[in-house]
Amino acid sequence: MSYFQHSSAIVDEGAQIGENSRIWHFVHVCSGARIGEGVSLGQNVFVGNKVVIGDHCKVQNNVSVYDNVTLEDGVFCGPSMVFTNVYNPRSLIERKDQYRATLVKKGATLGANSTIVCGVTIGEYAFIGAGAVINKDVPAFALMVGVPARQIGWMSEFGEQLQLPVEGHDELTCPNTGIRYVLCGNSLNKVDAYK
C-alpha cells in the first residue's frame, strides 16, 4: 500500500488511491472513487462511487463527497462543508438518475460549513467563505460570502484578498507575492507566473 489508511477507515475494493495520500479515522471510500496523490481525507469523511478527487486536495473532518462531484488538484474542503447531488430531494422519491454534476476547479477553497448546491462549477482559486451557500457558478479567483452567496471581491492564487484598483486602473497585485492580476469585466486573469 502506497498510502496511509487508519485502522478504523474502510476503503472498498476497487477504489483508486494515489501515493502518499492519508485516510484518517472513520473514513469510508467507496469502490468506484478515484483519489489522487498526496490527498488528505480527515476524520469521518465519506467519498462516493462516482467521485474524482485530484492530487493534493485536503478534505477536512465531517465532509461527504457524494456521487457526481469532481475536485480538481489542490482543492481545500473545510470542516463540515456540504455537497449535494440532487436538486429537489424527497425521501419517498428516488432520483438517482437526476444527479447533477458539480465541478470544483484547481486550487479553490470551500470554507467550513459552506454548502455547494449541485450542478455548479466553482472556478480556479475561488474562495468560498465559511457558511456561504453557493447556488450558481462562481468565477475564477472570486471571493464569495453569505446566504445565498454573493461576490464581495477577488482572491489571489496565494489566498490573499486583492485590493480593488483605483478608478481607471484594472490591475490588482497580491500583497504577499507581488503577482499581478488584471480585471476584464467580471473575470480576473493572472498576468505573472507564480514564483
Tell which residue, 159, 162, 158, has the closest CA to residue 182.
162
Q: Which residue spans within 58-120 are E strands per DSSP?
A: 58-59, 64-65, 69-71, 76-77, 82-83, 102-104, 109-110, 115-116
Instruction: Look up the pTM and report it.
Output: 0.95
State the pLDDT confidence band at 192, using cuts at 50, 70 and 90.
confident
Domains of the chain: 4-162 (2.160.10.10)
Lowest mean pLDDT among 24-38, 65-79, 122-136, 178-192: 178-192
CA–CA separation, 109 and 127 (whole Å):
5
Is the pLDDT score of 195 beyond 60?
A: no
Q: What is the pLDDT of residues 53-96, one digit of tens each?
A: 999 999 999 999 999 999 999 999 999 999 999 999 999 999 99
